[in-house]
Structure 1
Amino acid sequence: MTTPPTPPGFPGMPDPNDPGQMQAFLAQLQQMFATAGTSDGPVNWTLAQQIAEQVARPTDRSLTAAERTSAADAIRLADVWIDPVTTLPSGARTTAAWTTLEWIGETLPVWKQLCDPVASRVVAATSGSLPEGMAEQLGPMRGLLDGIGGMAFGQQVGTGLGQLSAEVLTSSDIGVPLGPPGVAALLPANIDTFAEGLERSGDEVRLYVALREAAHQRLFEHVPWLRAHLLNSVDAYARGISVDREAIEDAMSSIDPEQLDPTNLESLQNSLAGGMFTPNDTPEQKAALARLETALALVEGWVTMIVEAAAGDRLPGLSALGEAFRRRRASGGPAEQTFATLVGLEMRPRKLREAAVLWKTLTEVRGVEGRDAIWGHPDLLPSSDDLDDPEAFVRGQDDDGLDGLADDLKNL
């Protein structure tokens, strides 16, 4: 893989005897000051998007009309295959084929929801960590320092998103609905790269990925509480993260207000951009993490079961493709690394296999309607303990309640 360029940030000090370096330095410095004032929240999202696009651009490529058509056709065919195996209707009101740059732009609104809670802690810690008396000494430079936390997080977010954009295959690839509601999207260039090591045809891999995207969209579109449940679980966990104030205070104390220059700010940004998160492991945070991991496992387990039931013998490489995705999700991969960097959270759907077994058992005992009725309310979802004993969970369901919820789902 091509090494991405160093993302923009604070400029390094130039050689004063080199006019070219001085000119470039002054241009970067001017851009930095301008960008510091564009933040509309705890993260400087203008900077984040600029950096993400710069990181992604070297490996981004435009899509042909044939690629866009093939993506749309694959999603439509996937929906046809899925129709008989679930009571949830199609969730794809629109189909799309995205480049990596388009993925960044389309998913940025949801990333704001995911990152702002913990970023607000970083920015507040930065503002509250100025040495005594320094705020008055800084005078007009205080406004710049107030934006340093947002810029630091913006650079961190941008770098993470730029790198992740080269790995994701769909709008829902990490288990959380990142794209606009009702839009089923594939990233054809990334799918082609993913297919290279699987010894399967590109058409087969694309259709398998489309099946997964179409199944995800049915859940996110027709289980109205699910999107908020996932995003709120991330938010609840992130709010339990504490910021390493000692590291921030050390960085802030290194600033000499009488000799404030960009190299001081570069050092500060580097300090803020790494090692800021310290999980508290409070009971509330543990509960939020357990809810999120279980929900992710249930979503992925349901999707896996639906795809296997829909594809049947139609995809010769179904077993190999399913195993490749299980390994990809179970190990976390780029999604886990990005979330750990951005919100201090490992997005790993533990008990993925157990969740798939539970959904299959529910199908065998309760049928398709009884199985899908479980999505009728978050309180009906299996717990982490239920995943360890799916038969006990199935035996404990109330027939009348499930039948009533199934009727409600059919009327959505």
Structure 2
Amino acid sequence: MSQTYIDWDVARKTGHRIASDGPKTSVANARVVVEELRSAAERAHQPVADTARLNPGSTQTPVHVVDRTTWIDVNAGSMGALVQPAVERITAQRLAGPRVRAVGAKIAGAEVGALLGYVSSKVLGQFDLAPEGQPSLMLVAPNIVKVERELGVDPHDFRLWVCLHEETHRVQFTAVPWLREHVITSARELMIDLVPDPEQLPERMQQVVARLPEVVRGGGGGLTDLFTTPEQRAEVAKVTAVMSLLEGHADVVMDEVGPQIVPSVADIRKKFDARRAGGFGPDRLLRRLLGLEAKMRQYRDGAIFVRTVIDQVGLDGFNTVWTSPETLPLPTEIADPPAWVARVHG
């Protein structure tokens, strides 16, 4: 029987308990929302591909319109597949006996489930890489409806606008065949490296205690920073640079396509950006601890990188970024786009 240090069944059940059902709506209206989101994703696909000048060819991935609990279930499965190599390293080190491991797995499962439950009420859409399965685009219907109501924007325009960003991710991963495996492999290698040796644990805990106030004040990238060495943070930065590229590129493409097919796009972008920058109190603190504020910076920094590179070498010159893992931006280049241009274009 395979070893585990995370009880994924506990994770799913915990996430389900924490996640609410979302905004109230009738069954008939819910069906309308689901169908409209499916249609919006299809409407967005070709304009996104044309604007990005990326050709996904005949390779397609399914679009699923889901509720919060389904999003939790899918992500629990994908996370389990992603972290399995790290679990195997822990098992090989024999860091705990069977009884301790069983108890620890339930605790870890509850913690992961709490995280999934919290995020499930925030995320609007996601391209699921599905490390051991079929990639798919997920649109989280209750969250989209919740945000469109909170912002007071045209719901039909908002649903299409959200799909522009998420469809860009689907185009990225279908038009660039090596990208999915590269991201998965990079994440797995990082997780394996993050597994501490037993003799390192006391020092790591001292670092956590010493640096927690910095994270609470808003410094760093969240709890992850507390458990990593400078060398590991450098590896995290490499993965983060790729995520910044993907998120920033999606924002740039949606802003290019938006005025063409979303009539109220200016109003939506203005209100949505204000929402991204907002938040206070316990929710803001939790976002800091989980590194979600760092996620918001990925959109901003990545979009600046993409726009600056396009201004310098044009869209085709920018698309050189998709040639191979070696042409992806380094962490320092995300903040210094001309350095990427100089390295890749000479």
Matched, 1:108 2:62: no
Q: Specify the alignment match of 2:109 in structure 1.
A: 154
Query: Please, which of 163, 170, 173 is the counterpart of residue 220 of structure 1?
Result: 173
Q: 2:229 pairs with 259, 281, 284, which one?
A: 281
Residue 17 of structure 2 is aligned to residue 50 of structure 1 = no
2:44 corresponds to: 78
- Which deviates more from structure 2 when the two are superposed, residues 186-195 or residues 386-395? 386-395
Partner of 1:362: 309
Distance 1:196 1:245, change over 3 A: same
Looking at structure 2, the residues matched to 337 and 235 of structure 1 have their Cα atoms a distance apart, in angstroms, of: 25
Higher helix share: 2
2-side partners of 1:332 and 1:279: how far apart?
Answer: 26
Alignment of 1:17-32 (within 5 A): none
Give the TM-score taking structure 1 as reference length. 0.64
Provide the secondary structure at the position in 2 that maps to 1:166. Answer: coil
Match of residue 264 from structure 1: none
Q: Which moved more, 1:304-313 or 1:220-229?
A: 220-229
Q: List gaps (5 residues or longer) in structure 2.
A: 204-222
Q: Take 2:327 and 2:4, find their aligned partners in 1: how far apart are those partners?
A: 36
Report how far residue 84 of structure 1 moved: 2.2
In the TM superposition, 1:252-331 aligns within 5 A as 278-283=226-231, 285-319=232-266, 321-322=268-269
Amino acid at match of 2:137: A
More deviation, 349-358/147-156: 349-358
Query: How far apart in 1 are the matches of 2:94 and 2:135?
Result: 39
Specify the code of the residue in structure 2 equivalent to 1:77. Answer: R
Structure 1 residues 325, 111: closer, same or farther in 2, change over 3 A? farther
Aligned 8 A contact 2:22 2:143 in 1? no
Change in CA separation of 1:280 and 1:75 when aligned onto 2, cut-off 3 Å: closer
Amino acid at match of 2:77: P
1:240 paired residue among 194, 213, 232? 194
> What is the deviation of 1:155?
1.3
Deviation per residue, 1:356-383 (Å, 9 max, x gap): 2332243344443332231111111222
**Contact 2:243 2:298 survives alignment (8 Å):** no
Q: Which residue identity lines up with residue 78 of structure 1 in the other structure?
A: A
Contact 2:252–2:303 under 8 Å retained in 1: yes
Q: Which amino acid aligns with 2:106?
A: M
- Note if contact 2:244-2:302 (Cα within 8 Å) is conserved in structure 1: yes
**What is the one-letter code of the residue matched to 2:19?**
A
Report the structure number with the largest CA radius of gyration: 1
- Secondary structure in structure 2 of the residue aligned to 1:147: helix
Structure 2 counterpart of 1:9: none
* Partner SS for 1:184: strand
**Which amino acid in the other structure matches residue 44 of structure 1?**
D
Give 1:237 shift.
Answer: 4.0
Counterparts of 1:234 and 1:346, CA distance in 2: 20
State how far apart, in whole Å, the 1-side matches of 2:183 and 2:287 are.
17
After superposition, the CA RMSD in angstroms is 4.1
Between the aligned partners of 2:84 and 2:123, the Cα distance in structure 1 is 22
* Counterpart check, 1:202 vs 2:155: yes
State the secondary structure of the residue aligned to 1:85. helix
- Cross-structure match for 1:382: 329
Q: TM-score, length-normalised on structure 2?
A: 0.74
Instruction: Give the Cα–Cα distance (whole angstroms) in 2 for the partners of residues 281 and 298 of structure 1.
Output: 24
**CA 355–277 in structure 1, closer or farther in 2 if over 3 Å, else same:** closer
Deviates more, 1:56-65 or 1:302-311: 56-65
Work out the CA distance in 2 between the residues paired with 1:395 and 1:277: 31
Contact 1:336 1:348 in 2 (8 A): no
- Output the amino acid matched with 1:43: I
Change beyond 3 A, Cα 1:396–1:58? closer
Following the alignment from structure 1 to structure 2, what is the Cα–Cα distance between the partners of residues 149 and 304?
Answer: 40
Cα distance change on mapping 1:246 and 1:290 into 2, 3 Å: closer
Contact 2:38 2:65 in 1 (8 A): yes
Counterpart position of 1:168:
123
